[in-house]
């Protein structure tokens, strides 16, 4: 039984057999946003026109647009966050490497003599 539990935990939830929703960043949120967008678009169109088939089509289009929009927005934010983290990590490495040396950027302002009358 323990082997079966591990297998289901590592397998995850696959959408259409190809997209692992649990392990893919932003996938779960994008699918949930898409479901909400589809319900909202389809229901509003149905209330406005009372056309069932066209409301289904509008709901499906709303799902696709909302899912893709949410997916790309989330992925762009994740990419921007990774770049910021990389810059911060490089800055911390440089601070550790240069701390206490002549090249220390925090020491430059303190080492210079004041430029005012004494």
Lowest mean pLDDT: which of 23-27, 43-47, 55-59?
23-27
Asked if 75 and 26 touch (Cβ cutoff 8 Å), the reply is: yes
DSSP 113: P
Is the pTM of the predicted complex or chain greater than 0.75? Answer: no
Q: Compute the chain's Rg from CA coordinates.
A: 27
The answer, yes or no, to whether residue 60 has pLDDT greater than 80, is: yes
Rounded-to-integer distance, Cα 28 and Cα 8, Å: 18
| Residue 107 CB-density burial (10 A; 0-12 exposed, 13-18 middle, 19+ buried) | middle
**pLDDT by residue (tens digit) across 79-107?**
999 999 999 998 888 888 877 777 777 77
DSSP 12: -
């Amino acid at each position: 039984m323990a082997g079966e539990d591990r297998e289901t935990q590592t397998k995850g939830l696959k959408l259409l057999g190809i997209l692992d929703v649990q392990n893919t960043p932003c996938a779960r949120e994008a699918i949930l946003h898409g479901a909400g967008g589809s319900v909202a678009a389809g229901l509003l169109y149905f209330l406005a026109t009372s056309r069932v088939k066209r409301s289904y089509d509008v709901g499906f289009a709303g799902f696709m647009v909302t899912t893709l929009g949410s997916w790309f927005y989330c992925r762009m934010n994740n990419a921007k966050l990774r770049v910021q983290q990389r810059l911060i990590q490089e800055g911390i490495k440089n601070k550790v490497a240069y701390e206490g040396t002549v090249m220390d950027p925090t020491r430059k302002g303190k080492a210079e003599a004041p430029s005012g009358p004494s």
